[in-house]
Amino acid sequence: MLARDLIQRVREIQIHTGRQVADVLAGQYVSVFRGRGVEFEEVRPYVPGDDVRTIDWNVTARMGEPFVKRYVEERQLSLMLMADISASQDFGSGGRSKREAAAELCALLAFSATRNDDKVGLTLFHGGIEKYIPARKGQRHSLRVVREVLAHGTDDLATNATNVGRRARWLPWGRRRAWAPSGRQATHIAGAMEFLMSVTTRKSVCFVVSDFLDDDYLPAMRMANRKHDVIAVLITDPRELEFPAVGLMRLQDAETGRNVAVDTGSRQFRDQVRTLGNQRVESLRRALGASSIDFIHIDAAGSIVDPLVKFFRMRERRMHR
């Protein structure tokens, strides 16, 4: 992505998501995510109705009248965004790719955190850890997070784009293998979880944003969830769940390079794609639920806000049971 295009896209995301944070998510975020506990603020004279358990007996003995300790909730959080930037995330059959949808989601979360004076960190991963940005505060820092999710590692893509015709660029279920740097030809979620455990000492709220085209990551996610509040965000493209009838087509997996020729005019093929796609989503939902890990499913061609609001409301209801 060219620097000029990147700046314009980040600005669009900032304006769009900033309005949504102000209009829709302002109270949702703060009501769902709480800080690490309470901290002492002051000692004040006892007034009728105060809980007798809060009386500070040392101060009371010195002053000759009852005083109570006052505590306030320590609300500041550390929000860690774990964004998958493997090659399959570059696919998009509609107005935005899965990676662009991930950037918008990260923007919503980062700006919500900034609005509430929380820290935001970022880890970009694929087959390994590509980039780590420690949690910090501030609007400028949040913009950097969005920029990195949107464009990190895409220089090679932009270079190759000048040498290959546009018709050859996109394939359903991913780009051609030559379009992605070799380091992004895999997804290793377990490794990202192990990295999270190694760099964060305090409990964090961790959003794992990926298409979850990987295996054997649940044990690592369960282990991370014991220390942190881990939330899995699955991003899918409509063509991964529903295929149009457009005749014969050659498909290539963006991460393995495997080619397959299919007849999309076949109803049996389209039904199989729909069935397997929906089964994958539901299987992931059930497996994560059994591991006490919250799950959000986002359609890259649809609303980012609606699934997030639905998740916040679910968490809020659960908190008040």
Q: Residue 163 pLDDT > 50, yes or no?
A: no
**Which pLDDT belongs to residue 89?**
93
pLDDT digits (tens, 9 = 90+) for 37-47: 555 667 889 88
Q: What is the mean pLDDT of the chain?
A: 82
Structure tokens at 248: 């014969």
pLDDT digits (tens, 9 = 90+) for 13-31: 777 777 777 666 767 777 7
**Which pLDDT belongs to residue 166?**
33
pLDDT digits (tens, 9 = 90+) for 214-248: 999 999 999 999 999 999 999 999 999 888 898 99
**Which pLDDT belongs to residue 73?**
53
Per the rule left: phi > 0, alpha: psi between -120 and 50, beta: everything else, 56 is beta
Ordered domains of the chain (ranges, CATH): 3-33+76-319 (3.40.50.410), 37-74 (no CATH)
Residues 6+ apart with CB under 8 A from 147: 6, 10
Helices (H) and strands (E) in the chain — how many of each?
10, 12
Q: Which of 32, 14, 317 is nearest to 150 (CA)?
A: 14
What's the mean pLDDT in 176-201?
A: 75
Model pTM above 0.85:
no
Up-side HSE of residue 93: CA atoms within 13 Å toward CB?
A: 14
**Which pLDDT belongs to residue 39?**
55
What's the mean pLDDT in 80-97?
A: 91
Q: Residue 99 pLDDT > 90, yes or no?
A: yes
**Which pLDDT belongs to residue 16?**
73
